[in-house]
Structure 1
């Protein structure tokens, strides 16, 4: 065996220096990701996967020089990919291609100089690859069995291990994401995903324009505000029985309804938000792309519509939300257009949404519908609130790039838990400010707050301080409704029905129907059986989608709790119900 190893090493020796240097040259986009803006273990694994992809032709007895020169066309993209990473801080993803199709010149202004340099450098990169392989890689050399084995490890074993040890559903998702961020696979994979996104959302405007919406305007001013939360866990709210004072302001709020048994329609933002905003249900998730949103329904009814967000317009987590934002007559993304690299979690504080809200209310529009899309409690938690909201002592603990979160020390877990509770306390302040602003408008007004999904606690068996799996902590979400005195007087039936359904189990898929019905709008997309503001409310089974794309019933899905006991993943209507003063 040792003799065979020596022979194999001697076989590769004449080719090895040129092979290594050429592969490193072609791997520059992956190397940049490893070191910029900081060393990231995920990108280290991506680098080795990229090596396997680049040398994959050698597995079929193609000579090394020919295999490397097959990538000559892609070498032209090397300068552009590196320039893109230095500007945004992350590899090219599908949303980069989406941006090219939907953005304007002002949003791409920061890319002009790097783009020009990349175009000029492209032929130089191709020429260098051709010259270098011709000079330093022996003609006709083919990899031996040992080198082919290394290529197989890089190409197959790593992604396969991710799926096995991460679970075939979630691990498979991660493996696909690896391909989407690893050169050269990220170019075709991202382009294909971008085409899917564009195809799904094509024609949405035409659908909305054909939608007939009937409304009966009141003599008074009407204002409806939908606040989309992020990663908020139901049982971290003081008003839901949590021991800590995380919602002291909401606890004192009059006219507030807290729905006790609402579950997210999906465990991730990109799947959940479309189901919150459209009449699509988890059985037909993809249909959400071609259906009118709650924004377009209110717009067709004659409301002035606005979308204000502290999430970024183009980012790795939620490209879809910005598409729904286009349904509004005006939109603002207060954290900027692009979500750069490992700084992607940095954002404007949610409190910054209050100023545009107040400015819009001061314009005098008689009928308003406003979406406030918050960053809420998204990782990193300590970035979500100002210093004065560090009520529970917490220092920033960056776990965004840690593959084994359970390796955190007890002190780190304490800081993360405290920071999460601080983010909930800041959400409490923000929602109280929104309500106070609506009170001052003296209008028929309503605020509905719902989180897209929850978040696992730090002691969770899987995905601690994260989401994506089907646990009560991720799926059980807060949903709050505040109704102004004027609304209660003018919309007595809707008020009575919402009050009577605070304990009814349902999913976030009912948000669209509840919001439309609460404003007394009528359209073909409205299903009164899914409106908590209707006496016909019959939400039925709580179906949702997991990351595998499978349709599951939340109330019958078995899980293993942290204590090791088997239980049913579901919360009965009578569990943890705490009345909120009205």
Structure 2
């Protein structure tokens, strides 16, 4: 049964791997030997895995569970061209029922039935004769040793072909099914047991408000919108053929055109973009560090995180006031904007004045930083990310089974979600302008990562960063300043306009926000402040009342 199941899974559950090897190899004379070698390694690895659990009456349920895992993994690899690396599995384990629901469907069920029906029948029919412990142990050990020896021999014999193939195509190791899924899930589940207890390293020591707060007529109100799954090349502001961003264009925002993310999924990007460490140091860290929100709170400002992602803030908001958008919404608002606990982003604008009023008055008197974490363009159900009156591009894909839609329908659904984000940001700017009598307002929008819409056969996101396509890393970044906030920060409009093609990353967020908010702290680096070169001395007039206007 171990040998039969291993051969069956290699044949029935590894089509993404065989297709990828054929794509990489080009000619049959190149890829057929590679497929044969990878098939040998996959079969031997699966034999070794199944032999390890061939011990008791529970072996058949365990083997069937492996078949189900293989079937589910192949469905997602075929449908979305995902790879089963630890980062993808960690992100999947943090997906809640609402996000997971969008990935389920008849396509998944039919694929699982297609792959699992035959082994389910075979496992049900076969009778496994009971053996003594010693007899079972030596048989299993012999099978395990034989599988390992055969795999090692094959790899050694074809090392000349295997070494460059695996070195230049790291993702192939995460397409060996079911080995990759089980390895990655185990790595994520067991990692906490083998790492040292993380300490929280403070970075907010010595933090203080700058000179602009000494005689301010109004406190600053800074809104940071964390976008979800938005692509820079689908923003009309950045030259996209479709005008997906008319509301932002009408408000004369600044749009940077060469910005890249820290990761290709929310779990990787959001904690990284708020960290003072930068991408390289963040990924190599052995302890946890305070983040941007901790520093702003330590400075004495009122901070608040409002989440419209069921998956939450990934730990960034744990030590500051925070809430979900669907909390405290009136029933009629929920019925109009929400499907269960999943809401359109406009829900974050409902009751916003009351949420801010609940923050400590002494902190609000100094300044407010509000973070709004969008649902944005989260796939694969792009059609759910825009309201009916915002659907300008039709027909759009109306299913989460993306393979059932044409490329044009898929792009239409995604572009409608971008247009909805544009309208949401426009409304947020209008709300900020309405606060100008009490605050000096500004807004920064920055997406967490991009998205694949079929380019190179890839869909969604989450491909390991080192070989992820540009569209999963190239993200939009937009800023808007009320005139008094711009003057308060001493920013030159002409200088900012001239720098919109400067290359930026998530590493710049931490330092740019601290610079705009005039928060002095030892972890601030002017070289990573995207606006530092455009900042001059703030004129004294900036602290006096002036007419409201767009900037």
- Please report the TM-score for the alignment, with normalisation by the length of structure 2: 0.63
* Change in 2 beyond 3 A, CA 1:322/1:144: closer
Please state whether the residue corresponding to 1:324 is helix, strand or coil. Answer: coil
How far the C-alpha of 1:420 sits from its partner, in A, is 0.4
Distance 1:496 1:346, change over 3 A: same
State the distance in 2 between where 1:448 and 1:197 align.
36
Aligned pair partner of 1:137 in 126, 130, 142: 130
Match of 2:277 in 1: 280
Q: Is the 8 A contact 1:98 1:194 kept in 2?
A: no
In the alignment, structure 1 residue 437 sits paired with structure 2 residue 431? yes
Cα offset for 1:496?
6.2
Conserved 8 A contact 1:271-1:285: no
The Cα offsets for residues 354-391 of structure 1, whole Å up to 9 and x where unpaired, read as 12533334446332111111121121212222233222
Alignment RMSD (CA, Å): 5.0
Report the alpha carbon displacement of residue 291 of structure 1 after superposing the two structures with TM: 2.8
Residue 514 (structure 1) shift: 0.5
Report the Cα offset of residue 482 of structure 1.
0.6
Measured at CA, do residues 70 and 348 of structure 1 come closer, stay the same or move farther in structure 2, by a change above 3 Å?
same
**1:497-508 to 2 correspondences below 5 Å:** 498-508=496-506
Q: 1:325 aligns with which of 317, 323, 326?
A: 317
Q: Distance in 2 between matches of 1:54 and 1:299?
A: 50
Partner of 1:372: 372
- 1:67-98 deviations in Å (ceiling 9; x for gaps): 237989x99xx9xxx9xxxxxxxxxx768999
Residue 416 in structure 1 maps to residue 410 in structure 2: yes
In the superposition, relative to structure 1, how do residues 493 and 240 fare at CA in structure 2: closer, same or farther (>3 Å)?
Answer: closer
1:449 aligns with 2:445: yes
d(CA) in 2 for partners of 1:464, 1:187: 22
Would the alpha carbon gap of residues 211 and 412 (structure 1) be closer, same or farther in structure 2, given more than 3 Å must change?
Answer: farther
Contact 2:297–2:303 under 8 Å retained in 1: yes
Change in 2 beyond 3 A, CA 1:441/1:199: farther
2:483 maps to 485
Is the contact made by 1:265 and 1:282 (CA closer than 8 Å) also made in structure 2? Answer: yes
Give the superposition deviation at 1:166. 12
| 1:296, distance to aligned residue in structure 2 (A) | 0.9
Q: Could you give the per-residue CA deviations for residues 174-205 of structure 1, whole angstroms, max 9, x where no partner exists?
A: 669x66864xx6885343234579945x314x
Residues 326, 341 of structure 2: 8 Å contact kept: no
CA contact (8 A) 1:267 1:475 kept: yes
Alignment of 1:296-315 (within 5 A): 296-313=294-311
In structure 1, runs of 5+ residues without a counterpart are 1-11, 24-38, 43-47, 59-63, 83-92, 100-132, 315-320, 337-343, 401-407, 538-580
The 8 Å contact of residues 269 and 449 in structure 2, kept in 1 or not, is answered as yes
Cα distance in 2 between the residues matched to 1:295 and 1:421: 31
| 1:512 to partner: Cα distance | 0.9
Match of 1:385 in 2: 386
Instruction: Quote the residue 2:207 is aligned against.
Output: 212
Shift of 1:504: 1.7
User: What does the per-residue CA deviation read over 1:280-311, in whole Å, with 9 as the maximum and x for residues that have no partner?
Assistant: 22321335663331111110111111111122
Cα distance 1:536–1:499, how it changes in 2: closer, same or farther (>3 A)? closer
2:352 alignment partner, one of 348, 357, 381? 357
Shift of 1:224: 1.2
TM score, norm. by length of structure 1:
0.60
Matched, 1:169 2:165: no
Distance in 2 (CA, whole Å) between partners of 1:467 and 1:387 is 29
What is the alpha-carbon distance in structure 2 between the residues aligned to residue 376 and residue 95 of structure 1?
17
Can you give the 5+ residue segments of structure 2 that lack an aligned partner in the other structure?
7-12, 17-42, 70-88, 96-125, 155-161, 329-338, 536-549
Q: Distance in 1 between matches of 2:416 and 2:140?
A: 58
Q: Are residue 461 (structure 1) and residue 456 (structure 2) matched?
A: yes
Which structure would you say has the larger RCO, counting Cα contacts within 8 Å and 6 or more residues apart? 2
Q: Give the secondary structure class of the aligned counterpart of 1:280.
A: coil
User: Matched residues in 1 for 2:512 and 2:265: separation?
Assistant: 22
Matches within 5 A, 1:530-541: 530-535=528-533
Structure 2 SS opposite 1:227: strand
Secondary structure, counterpart of 1:56 in structure 2? helix
Matched, 1:263 2:260: yes
